[in-house]
Amino acid sequence: MQEGLKQMEKRFEQVHGEIMAIHNEMKQLMRWGFGTLIAVGSLIVAVLRLVP
């Protein structure tokens, strides 16, 4: 019984680590996406101000 619980706990820790890795990757992608959005938006605003 005790061995089964230790194996289950080990597996939960492994899955938790995998979920945290995915979470960190998503955070990084969201930062890049947001930065790109701000950069492109700024370029569009700058072009629109200069053209007319």
pTM of the full structure:
0.68
Tokens of residue 24, six digits? 């960190």
- Mean pLDDT to the nearest integer, 31-50: 97
Helix (H, G, I), strand (E, B) or coil at 52: coil
- The pLDDT of residue 13 is 95
Total tally of structural domains belonging to the chain = 1
Q: What is the mean pLDDT of the chain?
A: 94
**What proportion of the chain, given as a percentage, has pLDDT over 90?**
85
Range of the domain at 29: 1-52
Instruction: Reply yes or no on whether the pLDDT at 16 is more than 90.
Output: yes
Tell me the C-alpha distance between 6 and 25, whole Å: 29
Instruction: Reply yes or no on whether the pLDDT at 52 is more than 80.
Output: no
